[in-house]
Structure 1
């Protein structure tokens, strides 16, 4: 019989996928998911055929719902409250959404929980409060910052992973899970998967809209850049960034970038063929937001390329508008990382 799980703040289901799909390491059954993003919930339902609810988790809990009994609760409370990109993070209420997460853990009878968040969680005062509350519930905990590239995702994505287990019945985990991939500069081991591994087989994109065609081309569409934008793209060499744009085409460079002489080395940058990608965020289609230009073609990466760099298989179906889907991708957990955690959790439960 498969172990049962609930996925909180589930989004499109990258973490669910790693836990339920044996290709990534897991063989669990997802019995419930919840997220406030309606389109993400539709994506989750489309791919997992399990009950899912589009709702605010605190409002839902206030209704005293019937919470399924499960073995494990997984999920990633919204990370913007901890992110260094959020200048108002000290007053952000999203920093406290671990509290309803633990309420569901308690109500579900779960013996293990796995929480995912930005790396800044590990050094936050909220982690101490969270660990203290979990201890009162009978859970031991461990927290480490893991890189998704070390587990087979073609993307550098460092995330804090907090694991909690009922110490009375569950042994301490082999945490963090042993990496399956490593920096090719280090001797031995399987090298990191690269941008080339993930997207080099794709032809040039077609059109500018989602198409009702088989994958991968359904999400492999471009944009409608201005002539000025195209000239900017052409001015950035392989591996280059906004500083190369300024050097090669100063007249095309925004004044704010010329005035800013330090930092932002990924802005308007090209991905490297033979490295994992940078972290894919929700606006990957805007090269001014990061290193999101194709390695050699004069354009930003497409939604299909972003999905592959996130580790999603082509047959995974996304629901929503272009903006909806980009948000789902940028907020997801690479299923390869989730799969490694799933194997660890399954070993813990089997003892």
Structure 2
């Protein structure tokens, strides 16, 4: 099966597609740094760096399955206050319709945050897809159910040129704890009790110690695990585009390394990342978890 990957980013969809037995023939993203990382990890794939809303789909190779992860920032509640540029981000989903109108592959899979399904224009987007002959089957999937050491709930919309929507049968895999990805011998540690440490951080550390002892995780947020800490035997919470998760080890603490974020997303250990930590975390936080993509695409291939 030949696949193309729109909004390819760090390459999680492409990596999962390859693991499911597909050949990714073309991938595109508007961000040059992301395209370069994707190309480094997928050298056999043709690449384009462009705004996909301006793409000429005649330049894209024929394919059997289209994979797409339009911008999610305009949909997610994590974005904070609504801003004018969120309209532009939400509109990237129409590039999927445009690509499918030209190529009409048998199957497409679109991934986004769950809030995408509540987008004011989602009914119109769905109607446009159906007008092209596609039946849509949204699936809400938690990455932790697919062997990824992270809870990450996302919508995977399976679009098929079939009379009825494809309802996938996805067998759950055993959960993996965050302790499997933490390397206590790496990273830049600092003393918890140091001048300038915020009172909120110290309170989170104290709450975590009371529940879990000397080793645990905590996010830099003030709700949920941000108030209580998180046991290392559980999957990590959602990886975001900025440093979120800190690991506490006795009197010291640090943020997760880029490699640990990579492992929390389910990328192979050999997967190349940007040298700059902030850039690596940003790409990973925007990515699709490869094991989830693998399982979804494999289930699609078994069904069509």
Q: Structure 2-normalised TM-score?
A: 0.85
For the aligned residue pairs, the C-alpha RMSD in angstroms reads 2.9
- Please give the per-residue CA displacement for 1:315-338, whole angstroms capped at 9, x wherever unaligned: 011135222211111101111111
Please list, as runs of the form range in 1=range in 2, the aligned pairs for 1:162-177 lying within 5 A after superposition: 162-167=157-162, 172-175=165-168, 177=169
SS at match of 1:100: helix
Gaps of 5+ in 1: 182-189, 206-220, 245-256, 285-289
> Per residue, is there more strand in 1 or in 2?
2
Matched, 1:38 2:32: yes
1:204 aligned residue: 185
* Aligned-pair CA distance for 1:269: 6.7
Cα distance in 2 between the residues matched to 1:42 and 1:120: 30
Number of corresponding residues: 289
Q: Structure 1-normalised TM-score?
A: 0.74
Cα distance in 2 between the residues matched to 1:263 and 1:324: 25
Please list, as runs of the form range in 1=range in 2, the aligned pairs for 1:1-351 lying within 5 A after superposition: 3-21=1-19, 26-49=20-43, 50-61=45-56, 65-86=58-79, 87-88=81-82, 92-167=87-162, 172-175=165-168, 177-181=169-173, 190=174, 192-199=175-182, 202-205=183-186, 221-222=187-188, 227-228=194-195, 236-237=204-205, 240=208, 264-267=223-226, 270-284=229-243, 290=244, 292-296=245-249, 297-349=252-304
Gaps of 5+ in 2: 212-219
* Aligned-pair CA distance for 1:98: 1.4
Cα pair distance change 1:203/1:270, threshold 3 Å: same
SS at match of 1:222: coil
- Please give the per-residue CA displacement for 1:111-170, whole angstroms capped at 9, x wherever unaligned: 1000000111122232211110011000010112211111111101010111100016xx
Cα pair distance change 1:276/1:229, threshold 3 Å: farther
Alignment check: 8 A CA contact 1:80 1:89 kept: no
* Aligned-pair CA distance for 1:180: 2.2
